[in-house]
Homo-oligomer: A and B are copies of this chain.
Amino acid sequence: MDLALTDADLAFQAEVREFIATYWPEDVRRARATSSRFEESRGHSPEVRRWIDALNERGWAVPNWPQQWGGTDWNPTQKYIWDKETAKAECPQLSAFGARMLAPVLYTWGTEAQQNEFLPKIREERMIWCQGYSEPGAGSDLAGLATRAVREGDEYVVNGTKLWTSGAHVADWMFCLVRTESGAKKQEGISFVLIDMKTPGITVNPVYILGGIHSVNEVELKDVRVPVENLVGEENKGWTYAKGLLTHERTGIAGVARSEVQLARLKRIAQETGMDGGTLWDDPAFRTRVTELEVDLEALSVTELRVLAQVAQGGAPGPESSILKIRGTEIGQAIAMMTIEAFGYYGMPYPEQTLIDNEGPIGNPYVMPTMKGMLYGRASSIFGGSNEIQKNIISKAVLGL
């Protein structure tokens, strides 16, 4: 039982740090972290493009994929180091829907043609994906989805409405759960298909999130014709693939490293915020609450390490892995709320982008990205299986209730 890194690990860490310093230097990082263009900062500025290209050149774009598709041979500790260092430096990530959500399904269940066609483009971030899962009537109860795909010759004809589809307005393709059969159990009869967003019959309607953020959409599908070769795996087995995918990437889900960055930022902001002639950081009440969060986060970080160590030894993650998402989102949300609180009155200004472009930010430059992150972050305990659903799952799977 020990937490020491081996010499090899340390050498690797140094290598990663150097790579980051070269391709994602401090000034780029700060510019992006203070950008009030929250949504757009998720897209591809020249700096982001350069970073992604460098990743691909170095072979580090998709560490977790199988090596044959561009993955690395890193051991779990190295992967952990990579995640930690890139998160600490707030490096951009590949769009998660392609690289983290779809790719594992494709390299596990996809046809060779699908793998050859899509995996390289995802790895190079030359093809952006969105995820067509939720529907107006199927949120927490995802399996209650109603979008239908009817086979006609070599095509499926798809009709229905998807909701909360992140990035549908910028996506090239969508991977989508559709009902191909009305089974006895609602989990049956669902298929997993890939849809080109340029196919006729697709309408993308923006859904503005609190703060006027455009990130999610409603996607209407009206007689959308999808070639049968775009079915992934077997017909009616889509739920299995989607579920496997939901539990695929355990680590990272807790957002520990990101929260560590945010917590460090909160402390710095408190140290720079005036109060009573000193700073907010001198206030024992505020400091106590930040310290409480720090302990919570450290505990979660060790829990994540425990999961990682199990995987490193070839074991399956233990029950403690199930708490990562719940605690991770709770802590992330709490940090965001406390940062808003730290700003005091300066948490309120929410100027239009043109004003910021012309005259600079109002108050602390971190206000706008923090506020947008806080508002958007409320979704973290709702989307992808709400925390209530997570507890139902733990109750059943771990406690046997």
Contacts and interface: CB of A to CB of B under 8 A. Distances in A.
A121 B285 CA distance: 55
Contacts of A284: 284-285
Contacts of A288: 285, 288
A235 to B, nearest CB: 41
A287 to B, nearest CB: 10
- From DSSP, what is the main secondary structure of chain A's interface residues? helix
A285 to B, nearest CB: 6
Interface string A275-286: 000000000110
Interface in A242-301: 284-285, 288
Nearest to A283: B284
Nearest to A288: B285
A399 to B, nearest CB: 18
A288 B284 CA distance: 10
Interface in A361-380: none
A288 B285 CA distance: 8
Interface string A118-144: 000000000000000000000000000
Contacts of A285: 284, 288
A284 B284 CA distance: 7
Nearest to A285: B288
A346 to B, nearest CB: 24
A285 B291 CA distance: 12
A293 to B, nearest CB: 15
A346 B256 CA distance: 39
A285 B284 CA distance: 7
Nearest to A284: B284
Interface in A155-185: none
Interface in A56-95: none
A284 B288 CA distance: 10
A43 B288 CA distance: 45
A285 B285 CA distance: 7
A320 to B, nearest CB: 27
A-B pairs, top 4 by smallest CB distance, nearest first, are A284-B284, A285-B288, A284-B285, A288-B288
Interface of A: 284-285, 288
4 contacts: A284-B284, A284-B285, A285-B288, A288-B288
